[in-house]
Amino acid sequence: MSAGSVTLPRWCAGALVAALLVALPCGVAQARGDAQPTPAWQVPVAPHGAEYARLQKEAQAVTITRDNWGIAHSHGKTDADAVFGMIYAQCEDDFARVEANYLTALGWSAQADGEQAIWDNLRYQLFIDPAVLKHDYAKSPAWLKKLMNAWADGMNWYLATHPAVQPKVIKHYEPWMALSFTEGSIGGDIERVDLAKLAKFYGADHATAVALAQTVPPTWVEPTGSNGIAIAPKLTADGHALLLINPHVTFNFRSEAQMSSDAGLDAYGASTWGQFFIYQGFNKHIGWMHTSTGVDAVDKFAETISKRDGKYFYKFGDKELPVTSREITIRYRAADDSIKARTFTAYFTQHGPIVAEANGKWVAEALMNRPIPALEQSWLRTKATDLASYMKVAELKANSSNNTLFADDKGEIAFLMPQFIPKRDNAFDYLKPVDGSNPATAWQGLTPLADMPNAINPPNGWAFNTNDWPYSAAGKDSPKRADFPQYMDSFGPNARGEHAMRMLTGAHDFTKAKLITDAFDSYLPAFARLVPILVKDYDGLPASDPLKAKLAGPIGVLRHWDYRWGTASIPTTLAVWWGDTLWNEVAAKAKASGLDAHATDLREIDYIADQASSKTRLDALANVVERLQRDFAYWGVPWGAVNRYQRLDDSIHPHFDDAKPSIAVPFTASRWGSLAASNTHQWPGTKKYYGRSGNSFVAVVEFGPKVSARAIHVGGQSGDPDSPHFIDQQHRWATGDLRTVYFWPEQLKGHTAREYHPGQ
């Protein structure tokens, strides 16, 4: 946006829109004594009233079929009918997660979780303003309004027919709320705002700011991870394109579902709880897999601030522009269970909201905030029928955080970058705050799709992404790094990418079975690099060194290891515990070492290999041996005995217990190059490793004359521990035994557990 534009940015338009919509000031005074009308979202559907009757009639137009894995197949005459059924079924399966996602997205979670959530709510409300979203809903196209209306109706019908369910905050969902959560990736752009710095700027006390800045060990941070592979017909045994869909996210972060209508909708796959579109999946003709991207589409601008006559201004070129402000009131649940409020004055420049102060400058955060086109794009791509129609939808340019792997029944494949990529001056390093007073740093519109490092129908016949850079997406036929600005990637290569390249290069005669086998290939390229260095360190020790005898057994095992995981593998246990110990020790040093900031995923591995001392590497192994002997009485522990999957309940913040049932998991965290991943570590009170993220939904799709697929969902479809579908897929998940997907009506015959209308 230019400095002279008269169009208000979304973040400073809220007060004006609120005045137009409700004729009340934006924000709520903290100590008002006059009674306020009860918001519509706090008034539940009245039993057997007019709205109840309307929803009941709407429900009769929807049929939900549950297959014998508990997966919901929702069908209706219209797309809106399918949305109603799909979201109703989600609520049946895990209303707590549906609710939690919207409390987070709206910045309302403090009303349920208490005062500690205030700062996260403020972070969201800097970008998400209900008054603006209501205005957006009012101006949305009619077809999209119908879907949002059906979404709210399905949620409200669930609550109306399940009076025992007591929502924490929202008792009546309104259609505009769907616009707060339009992009299905985990950890959206807003969460990149540093919470501790934000809280400090907006008045948090020192203790709160320090607490928010506390971090967990680096190996506890869940790796950014997903895998997508597209195979062209020329490399497949049957001449059909294939697609691997393998998101690595928090376990049970998404639901598995099919939604179809007589209006042409027929999509199957994973949908993030509370959203009414299939985020990663396929329809009769195409498939799409999203992987978190390394493109830089979120930037910080250091603003030069001055104050005159009690008002703030910021410098832009030779001008002094006014800093705008908006009152934001955060309601929170107090210790006595009452609802209290805290009001903040938030500040904004043309770049975005102020989120921190550093070196005497205010820092503004710029990111995509386009809810209408974002929701349009998320929905319309599920109805695309080929690459051309998918790319037409992509022209909405409202996907900022995900790459896409694509395949279709015409035999076309592609690796695609996110479509929201601001054009910038490549002379500046946007991984650091840039000078907001310099007009040359400003965003210069959006990058045309043709100017992005995509790989469309590459001659080699395959494309992949493992959250690495785009410059290896199609092997030798990949885009060239030198041809694109540096902001096109901030990740660089990674170990999973090396693994995928190793398997794909020169391969042919792919089938669904082969692609599944490759998706669970056990090779660990990071350790293939690191372990020989460790063995060399050991061989260089003098015979008199105490470690020579202490480590003789473990080194002997590692020396002859084939660098493959397995539940019976003792060297996998030694290597992972050793690698994790080193990773935690060197992570900060690696970040400060001057290694390429655009190659973050290999930075720690490079540091361990090239800059850590022999003593550091050997001492880490000695530490591991001591811990294994202390906790398990022997250092030679099989990997499956310590690396476990456990689902005790449906807590969003899970807990683990060594004394309770769990199953062995053969694969490792993704940082070591395992494509199949469970990002495990020890938790408070446990000696064993448990995971809460990694392989969540895995599918392999074949685009033959009739699309077919096999899939698996971590644990099970239901969030109810008493449901037969709470952990019914766990053994298949751990062994890579993908089940048949019942996509076609004839496939459901003989595999149907129940068919009903919502509310029955």
Do 465 and 228 touch, CB atoms closer than 8 A?
Answer: yes
Question: CA-to-CA distance for 236 and 239, rounded, in angstroms?
Answer: 5
Do 413 and 230 touch, CB atoms closer than 8 A?
Answer: yes
Give the three-state DSSP class for 311: strand
Do 45 and 52 touch, CB atoms closer than 8 A?
Answer: yes
Half-sphere exposure for 269 (CA within 13 Å, toward CB): 29
User: What is the reported pLDDT for 28?
Assistant: 31
At which residue do the structure tokens 């045309």 appear? 448
322-358 residue pLDDT tens: 999 999 999 999 999 999 999 999 999 999 999 999 9
At which residue do the structure tokens 């490079």 appear? 606
User: What is the reported pLDDT for 19?
Assistant: 34
Both tokens of 650, joined, read 């449906």
User: What is the reported pLDDT for 597?
Assistant: 62
User: What is the reported pLDDT for 183?
Assistant: 79
Half-sphere exposure for 173 (CA within 13 Å, toward CB): 33
Give the three-state DSSP class for 491: coil
Going by DSSP bridges, is the β-strand pair 299-303/361-366 parallel, antiparallel, or unpaired?
A: antiparallel
Q: Name the DSSP letter for residue 76.
A: E
Do 402 and 187 touch, CB atoms closer than 8 A?
Answer: no
Both tokens of 707, joined, read 């699309």
Q: Which residues of the chain have pLDDT under 50?
A: 1-8, 13-34
Do 324 and 10 touch, CB atoms closer than 8 A?
Answer: no
Do 418 and 370 touch, CB atoms closer than 8 A?
Answer: no
User: What is the reported pLDDT for 187?
Assistant: 63
364-422 residue pLDDT tens: 999 999 999 999 999 999 999 999 999 999 999 999 999 999 999 999 999 999 999 99
